[in-house]
């Protein structure tokens, strides 16, 4: 068994769609990023890559690579699960938290789990939590969103 942690943060920006957990969420602004800015999926990817000891998301999806420009983070996650799978690793479970003052995300979590799980995560193996930062700091001021994730992998070899 191997464990990995993932952290990501993205800044809110007017004129962007808000994509979280692969889901388009109606809100007045979205997250800035080279890809779709899906901070939750990026944290999940980093936790999986980290658990496999394969570096980080930037090594697998360099922002200089046009293949991943405006890419769907869900496709990046599918690619990452494939890459750790080639090394003999499978997912035991993933637990994650999104931290944002707005919008309220709990109604969207079941759909996020459905969308993210289709990339190759076993049923019941993905947990997503959402919370605010109690008004404190850059999250509290609504400047951006943070996500953290831990992933546990088993080795099939
Ligand atoms: Mg990111």
Question: How far does residue 157's CA lie from ligand 1's centre (Å)?
Answer: 31
Name the burial class of residue 126, with classes exposed (0-12), middle (13-18) and buried (19+) by CB atoms within 10 angstroms of its CB. Answer: buried
Distance 10 CA to ligand 1 centre (A): 6
pLDDT average, residue stretch 39-67: 93
What residues pack around ion ligand 1 (CB closer than 5 A)? Answer: 8, 42
User: Which alpha helices (H) appear in the chain, and where do they start and end?
Assistant: 39-51, 57-60, 73-86, 109-117, 137-140
- Return the pLDDT at 115: 98
pLDDT, one tens digit per residue, over 128-139 is 999 999 999 999
Tens digits of per-residue pLDDT, 57-85?
Answer: 999 988 788 888 777 999 999 999 999 99
Q: Considering the entire predicted model, what is its pTM?
A: 0.96
Ligand 1 centroid–CA 4 distance in Å is 17
| Residue 51 token pair | 């658990």
Indicate the pairing of strand 126-131 with strand 89-99: parallel
Q: What is the pLDDT of residues 94-149, one digit of tens each?
A: 999 999 999 999 999 999 999 999 999 999 999 999 999 999 999 999 999 999 99
pLDDT of 106 reads 96
Show the tokens assigned to 1.
């068994």
pLDDT higher than 80, residue 157: no
Distance 156 CA to ligand 1 centre (A): 29
- Counting Cβ atoms within 10 Å, is residue 86 exposed (0-12), middle (13-18) or buried (19+)? exposed
8 Å CB contact between 73 and 112: no
Tokens of 151: 């992933």
């Amino acid at each position: 068994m191997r464990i990995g942690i993932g952290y990501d943060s993205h800044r809110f920006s007017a004129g962007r769609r808000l994509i979280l957990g692969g889901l388009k969420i109606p809100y007045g602004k979205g997250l800035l990023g080279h890809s779709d800015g899906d901070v939750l999926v990026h944290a999940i990817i980093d936790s999986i890559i980290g658990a496999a000891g394969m570096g980080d998301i930037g090594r697998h999806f360099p922002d200089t690579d046009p293949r991943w420009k405006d890419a769907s983070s869900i496709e990046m996650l599918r690619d990452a699960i494939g890459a750790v799978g080639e090394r003999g690793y499978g997912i035991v479970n993933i637990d994650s938290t999104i931290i944002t003052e707005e919008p309220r995300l709990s109604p969207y979590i079941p759909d996020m789990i459905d969308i993210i799980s289709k990339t190759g995560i076993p049923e019941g193996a993905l947990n997503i939590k959402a919370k605010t930062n109690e008004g404190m700091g850059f999250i509290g001021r609504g400047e951006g969103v943070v996500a953290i994730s831990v992933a546990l992998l088993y080795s099939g070899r």
